[in-house]
Structure 1
């Protein structure tokens, strides 16, 4: 027998229960090994030389820092892509048109309507917004004009207006239209130049919607990812980049993801860039943090107003506070559609320009003015150019300055397929300021049609199990914003003690009418207790936690939730609490009924959906409240950064400052002036997020955040989690 092998006892039995060889005991000398117990033995440390930034050699001295790093920022309307060394990115419209072989059987669902209809009370909502604007004008010592007189005069002028024809040789912005179906796929700007998609049998879709993929517009997830790949490849083929596919492996990518991201979305995008495109490595960055880099700030409250959603989050010293994140279901598209409805009421044919479903009958007005044989089903269907024309009118006319409310003459251009450009002049009064006011008055938004359906698990099939956390969708800012929707009930012990200490005779003697009325209002016909409509005070909110889908986390520094109307007047933006006597009487009557009748189940609400209905100013204040106490609120409200295309609206910063000041002054002690920090002068607010990500791509510290293709194949999402601070 060889040396070193112990003498094993020979088995004399002829039968064995198994043929598996039982291994010997491990060597005691190896029991104290430090294998994988130190940082130097992990895969990240072993691959550190290959994962670090490439060292500049003599052959690459002519390259700028960041010239081998691509920054990709997807959005609902545009994909912004470019090198980190570039001054500004390339904006590619995030839209793809594909030819359908069977057009009528392969139709896609129509885009949802954003504004409520007239039968749902749209006219009353418009009157309320006009009244709110009139009160603000009087508060700022401005003299308003009755809207009925101005509407009649503007409609009369607009109906008599005649367009001015501009020849093609004098039109510097002449558009080349796509009037044939020769190509199977059209990406970007060419897809928006299709004259009639129904005639040419094109399906026009947008792969991104808000913070996630637009899965409702695609029959399968693979079709959606094909359009995403086509848009990114189209951006890389632009003359400013001109990167061939053979050079993809030489570039690193910084991908900007939303603050409220989906792990399935992150998994799909990283797999697409590393596996399908074959880029060398990738780094993920959140939008709010990138915006602070682009503006040169370390801590700020970032408000990103996009096309379909608005994202709000607080950034503290290079990290996004997870509890402060909140998303609103309102964006620039809602302003565009609401502007089209308002302009239609003063005699302008916006229904034929691009607003979906506004015109129920053919336009009757100027002859030859935007005549269309068949109505347009939706803005993303037959003619995308109609919606683009209305977008240009919005950027040229809308304002939030109360001093601009007057009967002014506006000029704009309309370019249609097959005809020269037309120059129009129209009059408008307060329509130009009422349209962007939908950011602060949400009653005209149709949230039911914009409600996202829960995606099934079969839509996101991957090779690994994606961990889900409660903070992915529900944050403390959302909980604070929806606490007023949950009825607060008292414990049974407190109700019994109140009933014993306070006799009914004493209550009747003190206030007989109030006692009778409260008892009648506290129960319905079936004897079920009704919820208390009286707002609770701060102590009641802190001591009692309502029953919801998640546990509500509150601290002593966190203020109690507030209830603010959708359309507050300038002088009194916050609802005042009821007197203590009324609260005590109502609560006692409710508790007396609860001792005899069974309590109904506490209703559960969908917190992300209900929180998305908040006005912009209230959502910003709740986001600052979720970050901490009064010191944090004062800190973040004095450094509010607004980015996105809507940030270019004149008067947005003063309008937001005045509303935030009216909310914060009575609720926060020693509150100073609210400040909206503008981005640097030479940077467009629409590209601040991309600019901040490009700054990160040129820093030396980014070498610790790269994830290579080999690490992604081996570890998957765990590799992203090891390299990112927010996953």
Structure 2
């Protein structure tokens, strides 16, 4: 007890423990009173002047108002026309109340539109009628060209076996391809007979026998009016350019000294991580292609002049955040543009086609995107992105022609002049019109560097039709190389607060991904066809592409993505192909159970036909509203290079009618006055000249201060 006794006051004073009170507060900071929890209010982030992007807009408006007042006062002091002074005063008052009635459109001379794609880049001033189109590729000095590096194995140049023996055309692509091709030919014959079309019993034999006997005709250079001027390189390799951009890359001889290799920064609508070993080199090539296109095609003399222009950058509807932020960083810091606006492809297509909304299908070279637009807004849950396009048609057409003894058997799409030849043959001869299927005789010219021109004759039959049918039945397309190397260099965007993927998601895209999982019974076609009408009259699939499966509500299918087995999602390599075939994980690779739904976006290859993509997109937009479903079916617009295939609109309409018999389906044709390939670019150029888009401009100062956070306030869609 004695040990717990407090010391008396003298002892406390001696030990320095005596309490003293001099009346001074412990701190000079004001002490806030306790908040009454029953009634309190705050204005934090509730006023526009507390948000930097909105405050800058107000400051710019006030600065413009001040300038107009000064001009009014100057006009009055100089005794100029009173009417002019009153006009200036009226404009100032209109701006004071937030109006901008002086002019609805601007000229667009100081705005550049950039629309990058997997195969082509389109750039131009907003005041231009049409954009400049350049290939989205760069040729760099390399140890070997792309054909030598891959040994010609990729499509389709294997004419000899490993032991040197000649491979017969029928076995050039394996027995599985031969069996599948024979089934397609037989099904087409049956379909043509049902449609009362004349079918010759020996049409295929006529084509094969003729092509097998053809020998090329040699044409001297002075008799060839369309001879190619190949790129001449200096004799000294050290004086050769480090890189070449534009159309000239396809005119570089494959055997050039030094060697050049073609690099494509974008493939299948995303960054091409497979062909690059460095993320820095990938971004540098992407920037260089755009920079050289601006300098060479638009007449801008110096890179430093970019600061005098604004830029409107067209982005995919369903995109990666990492792609958007990198593109913005390139435009604002690398190219140093003065200001920037982002616009989605479907919204730009809506404006370019002059419609207020509808279901827009953009068929590109390597991807097809579908999105429903209503009142100038892209409906988020309707966004669909499938990895098929015109390049798949080109590859399949050449394969089928080689199968039928194409006389130029050494064709290889990895060679530059062969790639241009294949594209030319596809554009000239491929069709989706059934009444054009017959034995036809055509010619083409092979122009290779350091060789005389050769003229070939060849015959076609059903190849021109079956190759394009892959857009409806994509099971015939090769899926072995698509999305290879995904996430090898660039990590997905992660949320800073909860460390989860924050890339945009779409219910329609998730429904497609779910339907492709092994063991899933979801048929997205039957689901889209029956969900709004309530009927369960399922069909047997389209040309064998889909089998009859049970109906699954869209919401349930969307939730299945989150509950799928974790071992199906493997980072860095596609775990599942579009036909539902799982690829086993390599040893040492780990599955990613957390955040599985976003990971499946990288691991499941989304490949379905155009009819399935359109129906699923509309289903995601309308939910269970039957009236809206019918309205979108009557407003389907197809843009992009794929629509140039003859008969594609009718083929898509017939495919949709198989799932919605008797429905009023209308494919809106593009305007005859504009190329469907540039509809998206044209829409962005119109948007650039509308004054109401001023609030979406992102300035250099905003990007330096806030970075990608500014998109929450300056984006045309929900970021």
**Selected match of 1:48 from 40, 57, 65:** 57
Tell me the equivalent position of 2:588: none
Tell me the equivalent position of 2:396: 338
- Give the 5 Å matches for 1:526-605: 565=541, 567-568=543-544, 575=548
Tell me the equivalent position of 2:285: 227
- After superposition, what is the alpha-carbon deviation per residue over 1:421-465, rounded to whole angstroms, capped at 9, x for unaligned? 444332111111111111122222232432444516865799988
Instruction: List structure 1 segments (4+ residues) > 6 angstroms apart after TM superposition.
Output: 12-15, 27-33, 50-58, 107-112, 114-117, 460-467, 533-538, 554-563, 600-603
**Selected match of 1:318 from 376, 383, 386:** 376
Instruction: Label 1:635 to 1:169 Cα distance change in 2 as closer, same or farther (>3 A).
Output: same
Deviation at 1:26, TM superposition (A): 4.8
Write the distance in 1 (CA, Å) between the matches of 2:118 and 2:665: 30
Write the distance in 2 (CA, Å) between the matches of 1:404 and 1:97: 39
- Give the 5 Å matches for 1:455-466: 455=487
Tell me the equivalent position of 1:688: 679
Tell me the equivalent position of 1:709: 700
Instruction: Label 1:417 to 1:395 Cα distance change in 2 as closer, same or farther (>3 A).
Output: same
Write the distance in 2 (CA, Å) between the matches of 1:53 and 1:328: 47
**Selected match of 1:133 from 181, 188, 194:** 188
- Give the 5 Å matches for 1:116-155: 118-119=173-174, 121-146=176-201, 149-155=203-209
Deviation at 1:81, TM superposition (A): 0.6
Are 1:663 and 2:639 an aligned pair?
Answer: no
CA RMSD of aligned residues (A): 4.2
Write the distance in 2 (CA, Å) between the matches of 1:316 and 1:184: 47
Question: Residue 716 of structure 1 aligns to a residue in which SS?
Answer: helix
Q: Is the 8 A contact 1:151 1:429 kept in 2?
A: no
Tell me the equivalent position of 1:39: 48
- After superposition, what is the alpha-carbon deviation per residue over 1:335-359, rounded to whole angstroms, capped at 9, x for unaligned? 111111111123324542333xxxx
Q: Is the 8 A contact 1:484 1:563 kept in 2?
A: no
Tell me the equivalent position of 1:163: 217
- After superposition, what is the alpha-carbon deviation per residue over 1:462-520, rounded to whole angstroms, capped at 9, x for unaligned? 998898656625533431673485768xxxxxxxxxxxxxxxxxxxxxxxxxxxxxxxx
TM superposition score normalised by structure 1: 0.72
Q: Is the 8 A contact 2:111 2:312 kept in 1?
A: yes
Write the distance in 2 (CA, Å) between the matches of 1:184 and 1:97: 8
- Give the 5 Å matches for 1:106-117: none
Write the distance in 2 (CA, Å) between the matches of 1:534 and 1:240: 50
**Selected match of 2:718 from 692, 713, 726:** 726
Tell me the equivalent position of 1:25: 30
Write the distance in 2 (CA, Å) between the matches of 1:559 and 1:325: 25
Question: Residue 29 of structure 2 aligns to a residue in which SS?
Answer: coil
Are 1:443 and 2:443 an aligned pair?
Answer: no
Greater relative CO (CA pairs within 8 A, separation 6+): 1
- After superposition, what is the alpha-carbon deviation per residue over 1:21-70, rounded to whole angstroms, capped at 9, x for unaligned? 84522577999885653113421233116767999999xx9x97111111
Deviation at 1:701, TM superposition (A): 1.3
Q: Is the 8 A contact 1:290 1:689 kept in 2?
A: yes
Question: Residue 443 of structure 1 aligns to a residue in which SS?
Answer: helix
TM superposition score normalised by structure 2: 0.73
- After superposition, what is the alpha-carbon deviation per residue over 1:145-167, rounded to whole angstroms, capped at 9, x for unaligned? 23x54334443256335436264
Write the distance in 1 (CA, Å) between the matches of 2:382 and 2:525: 23
Write the distance in 2 (CA, Å) between the matches of 1:650 and 1:536: 27
Q: Flag structure 1 segments of 5+ consecutive residues without an equivalent.
A: 1-11, 356-378, 489-532, 543-553, 579-599, 666-670
- Give the 5 Å matches for 1:297-696: 297-355=355-413, 379=414, 383-455=415-487, 472-473=504-505, 475-479=507-511, 482-483=514-515, 565=541, 567-568=543-544, 575=548, 608=601, 612-628=606-622, 629=624, 630-665=626-661, 672-696=663-687
Write the distance in 2 (CA, Å) between the matches of 1:475 and 1:350: 46
